[in-house]
Structure formats: C-alpha cells, structure tokens
Amino acid sequence: MFKKISGTKDILPDELIQWRSIEEAARTVFALYNYKEIRPPLVEEAALFNRSLGQSSEIVQKQMFLIQNKDELYCLRPEATASIVRAYIENNLDKTVGFSKLYYSGPMFRLERPQKGRLRQFHHIGCEAIGSADAALDVEVIALADKLLKSFSVSGYKLKINTLGCGLDKQKLTGALRDHLKGAIGDFCEECQVRFEQNVLRILDCKNQKCRDLVAGFDFKDLYLCGECKTHFQEVIAGLDALGIPYEIAGHLVRGLDYYTRTVFEITHGDLGAQDAIGAGGRYNNLVKELGGPDVGAVGFAFGVERLLIAAAGVKTDKEKHLAYLITLGDAAKKEGVRLIYALRNSGIACDTDYESRSIKSAMRRADDLGAAVVLILGDDELNKKVVMVKDMKSGQQKEVPTDQLIKELKC
Ligand code: HAM
C-alpha cells in the first residue's frame, strides 16, 4: 500500500471547512487593504532562491526539493517572496503598475525533519508590498498581519520586532559579532559553530539556551545602525503605538533569510511548542534590484497555515448546512429523483442523493452525517400526489410540498 511522503498531509474534506474559512477571511481582509492576488508557479529555477535567500541560509543549504532537468536545476519553491519579486520584474509590473500590493496563498516545500508544526509541504498565506521604502508601509503590513489573525479568531499571539539596518549596517554588525565571538565560539552549539563561518548573525537567534546566554549581552542596535535606519525603526514603532498594536522589541531577532534589511518581525504563539512562529516577515530593500529590477524597497510577511490551524484549534467552524438530501423509495421514484435533483441543482440548490440503495433509516443517518439541512423523501405515494415530503433536519418537522413549489420552498 502506498503512503504519503513523511512531512506531507492529506487535507481531508472535514478539515477543509476550517481551511476554507481561513482562506475566505484572508481574501476579505486583503481586499480591505487593497492587496491583489498573484499566483506564481510552484516550480522555479533553483538559482532564484540561492541568490535571494543566500547560499548560507538553512533552506538553500539543506532544505531544497531539487529537480534536475538535463542541465537545468529547478526546485519546488521553498517560499514565495523571491518568486513574487521575480514575477514583478519579469512581468514589468514596475513599469505598468509601479507600486504593487500583492497577496498569495499556496503550498511551499522544504526538506526539513518533520515534527509538530514542521512539514515538508506546508502552506503560506502572505503578501508583498513592492515599490516603497516608507516606514508607514511596514506599519500597514504589520497591522494587516494583526488584522488577519483577528479575522482567523486566533488570540494569544505575540509580535516580536527588530531592525537589522541597511546592507552596510548588516556588514558592520556581522564583522563586530565575529570579533566579539571569536575567542568563545568553541563554547557554542555545533550548529552555531557552522553559523560562525557561514552566517554569523544567525547565532543571535539560536534556540539553544547556552548559546542564548553567551550572546545575551551583545546589544548592537545603537552601535551599528546608521541614522536613517534608526529613524526608520523609530517611525515603525511610533506607527504601531499609534494603532495600539502590542509588540515586543526583540533585539536578537535576525531571521534566516539573507534578503532582509531594516524591519524584521515574527509572530509567535504559545500552543505551538518548539516551532512557535505562526508567521514572519520584514523588509527587503535590496532584493528587487539584486534580481534585476529597479532600486525600490519592499516589505511583506507570510503565515504558515498549518500552524495557524493549531493556534486556532479551539475555534469552532460550523459544518456548512445547506445541503438537501434526496431519498427515493422504489424504482419509479428513483427515476423521477434523477430529474428532480438535476432541476434543483440547476436552480442553485446544493443537493445529493443515495447511490447505495440504503434502507430509509441508514439513508437518514447518512443525510445527518453529511450535515444536510433538509431531507427530501420521494416514494410512490408522493409521486401519485405530485408532492415531495420535506423534513427539516434541525426541527425534525416534516411537511408535504407540491413538486412544482419545491424550488421556491427550499430557496426561502
Ligand atoms: P518563513 O519564516 O520562512 O518566512 O516562513 C513563514 C512562516 O511559514 C513561518 O513563520 C511558519 O509559520 C511557516 N513555516 C515555515 N516553515 C515551515 C514548515 N517547514 N512547516 C510548517 N510551517 C512552516 C518566509 O518564508 C518569508 N518568505 C516571509 C516573508 C514574506 N518575508 C517577507 N515577505
């Protein structure tokens, strides 16, 4: 028997009720903020991510789903920011639309070791606002993330925010941190020792408590941020204060992707265990230019849908109760039933019928399992009287409805 690949999930119809409610709420909120949907392909050139996320990022180092096609190397996208910037440039949106506010949802792929909240195929709902370096846009994007969580009925989350400064500030910081840790690097975890060589900033947000203690005193913001980046961060913080959005300044938050500059943020939730980020994002002012586009700033974020669902686990989503379920008794009624459900569906009424010739009792049970709002019973008696017996599943009441009145009756 075949089994799904470890770290992937079948999302079954019952679970999809909650998925859809999140997706629909997201569409409404994105429209409120005037973001337009974009759907880039799931397969891209691997080089796009090597270039954007950085050769030393964990994703590029060990998590890419690579596909060799003759002499070209493709990959299943591990994230969408780079794809969207590519699409923005390739489709000349910079020239035709200019400043663009885009949102997306769909699967991402990372060859990680699966655990709670960490999958190899998972889903993002996210957005990218491309074409402005204005601090007010960082505030809008964070307010949008907050609004989305509220619309998903997720509560108890924490917004952590930091700034990495511009490219030059990051370089200065990298150098200073390397100098600072040089003598003590042997005391850090194995992963941090590799990070020291490849991406020293990531040592700052290592989860290992010993490493945390070792870097606890390293405060860099005042030392390495240029004046403009300091002002930008102050404006973002003042903007969040003005909107009453709670946050915590997390001086050691650096994020694992190379493209970030200035604002970075992460939203965590206590119900998630070790993988506690339900979403994350930040500014990437150099990426559009690095990928061949104009020199414009951009900012965005993505939520992990599977993690949102864990955080929203207590939220009840009602089964959709609009189905009419037809039970026919006898051959003549069965024939008439085919015509009847065809007519009902053509009038926009969702309906289904029993294809397994069950007894009326088990067909009723099936209707209940499906969450039917009404059951329509059609037997020889009803056929003769040109009526259908309509049973309301909530109240249990039933009544005969003339066949030619049925659509009208079900629509009210
Ligand atoms: P990221 O932090 O890599 O950022 O992913 C965003 C969110 O996706 C995480 O906070 C987490 O909820 C979820 N996630 C990540 N990896 C997994 C996994 N293996 N299994 C389940 N969920 C996962 C980005 O991808 C950036 N592109 C976000 C962004 C957009 N920055 C700017 N614009």
- The reported pLDDT for the residue numbered 260 is 96
- Residue 321, pLDDT above cutoff 80: no
User: Ligand 1, closest atom to CA 300?
Assistant: 33
CA 125 vs CA 23, 99, 140, 149, 376: distances in Å: 8, 20, 16, 11, 40
Q: So what's the pLDDT on residue 230?
A: 96
CA of 391 to the centre of ligand 1 (A): 48
Q: Per residue in 324-344, pLDDT tens? A: 999 999 999 999 999 999 999
> Given a cut of 80, is residue 219 above it in pLDDT?
no
Alpha-carbon distance of 137 to 159, in angstroms, equals 17
What pLDDT score was predicted for residue 316?
Answer: 66
Nearest CA to ligand 1 atom 17: 118
- pLDDT for 140-195, tens place per residue? 999 999 999 999 999 999 999 999 999 999 999 999 889 888 888 889 999 899 88
pLDDT score recorded for residue 221 = 72
Q: How confident is the model at residue 314 (pLDDT cuts 50, 70, 90)?
A: low
Give the pLDDT band of residue 11 (cuts 50, 70, 90): very high
Atom of ligand 1 nearest to the CA of 118: 20
Q: Is 202 helix (H, G, I), strand (E, B) or coil?
A: helix
From the CA of 110, give the closest atom in ligand 1.
19
Asked whether residue 119 carries a pLDDT value surpassing 90, the answer given is yes
The SS3 assignment for 207 reads coil
| Between 220 and 15, residue with greater pLDDT | 15
So what's the pLDDT on residue 64? 97
Distance of CA 358 from the midpoint of ligand 1 (Å)? 47
Q: Mean pLDDT across the chain, nearest whole number?
A: 94
Nearest 5°: phi and psi at 296?
A: -125, 155
Residue type, 395: S
Find the DSSP H helices in 57-216.
58, 81-90, 93-96, 135-151, 167-181, 190-198, 209-215
CA distance 279 to 38: 19
Residue 35: burial class (beta carbons within 10 Å; 0-12, 13-18, 19+): buried
With a 6 A CB cut-off, is 54 part of the ligand 1 pocket?
no
